[in-house]
Amino acid sequence: MSKRRVLFLCNANSARSLMGEVLLRHMAGDRFESFSAGSEPDEPHALTLEALKKQGLSTDGLHSKSLDQFENETFDVVIVLCDKAQQACRDWQGKAGEILFWDIRDPRLISKLDAYEQALFEIRRRLQLWLPLQKS
């Protein structure tokens, strides 16, 4: 049986979408292929990598990618994590069986020390609620 393909999408692909990609791979990599992209990609934020490593999650090979790299590809689910990415998704040339919108606050815009850990927690919690609803 083939794995279902999931794309996490946010503006910069430097924090939230990378977290989603890593978390889904960790939590259900046997059932899903996990990808991430940004409408205006930047580099992975150092605090994103730190938050992932603190949770014992691998960041090997993790890098920011442009949504354009996935043009004409098909995903079972696209999970959009911010408003800007939602707007870019409207013009995207790929195909998605389902598009979900999870509004996770951008940790880069929050001055609290644990902003990245909080974003990681919120994405993990949503995945914990979403995964049991997915058919194998």
Tally the domains of the chain.
1
pLDDT recorded at residue 71: 86
Residues in the chain predicted with pLDDT less than 70, given as ranges, are 85-86, 88-93, 136
**For residue 11, what is the domain's CATH number?**
3.40.50.2300
Predicted TM-score (pTM) of this structure: 0.93
Plot region of 82 (φ>0 → left; ψ -120 to 50 → alpha; else → beta): beta
Half-sphere exposure of 51 (CA within 13 A, CB side): 27
pLDDT recorded at residue 83: 73
pLDDT recorded at residue 113: 84
Give the tens place of pLDDT for each residue, 92-121.
667 888 889 998 999 988 988 899 999 999
Domain of residue 79: give its range: 4-133
